[in-house]
Amino acid sequence: MIISAALSGLNHYLSELIPGIDFLWQIINFCLSFVVISLAFGLMYRYLPDVKISWDDVKIGAIITALLFTIGKFALGLYLGRGSFGSVYGAAGSLIIILVWVYYSAQILFFGAEFTQVYAKRYGSKIVPNKHAQYIDQE
């Protein structure tokens, strides 16, 4: 968000100097935001599990997760910009939208983790437990 705010301020400053640069800044903002989100998911998928997994496997899962997350963010922004949820739900409309966004984000996070695991087992390097990892039997 800090990078986005800095780009927004820079966009406001440069749009006065160079007319028509708004579209270019929107593209730069989208690309930079996508890279930061991909990096955040990649770091989570690489270091949070108690396994050794290669960056190549993590990269695929992080990019797919970031793509789904960005689509959800765009859809939420589109709905908030055009929808009239306040008239339907009243004051609880904002709470419902936030809960739906949290649910969607959690599902995307779990889907990306599962995708990364399946991809690493089938096509990538094998997942190896860390030295002090404990085996949990799934019944």
Instruction: Going residue by residue through the chain, which has 139 residues, state the pLDDT in tens, using 9 for 90 and above.
Output: 566 667 667 767 777 777 777 777 778 878 888 999 999 999 999 999 888 899 999 999 999 999 999 999 888 888 777 766 556 666 677 788 888 889 999 999 999 999 999 999 899 888 788 888 777 776 5
d(CA 16, CA 23): 14
3-state helix, strand, coil in the chain (%, to 5): 75, 5, 20
Question: CB of 129 within 8 A of CB of 50?
Answer: yes
- pTM recorded for the entire structure: 0.79
Contact 108, 72 (CB under 8 A): yes
Domain borders along the chain are: 2-129
Tokens of 32: 């930079």
pLDDT at 1: 57
Predicted local confidence at residue 84, as pLDDT: 66
* Helix and strand numbers, DSSP H then E, in the chain: 5, 2
The number of residues making up the chain comes to: 139
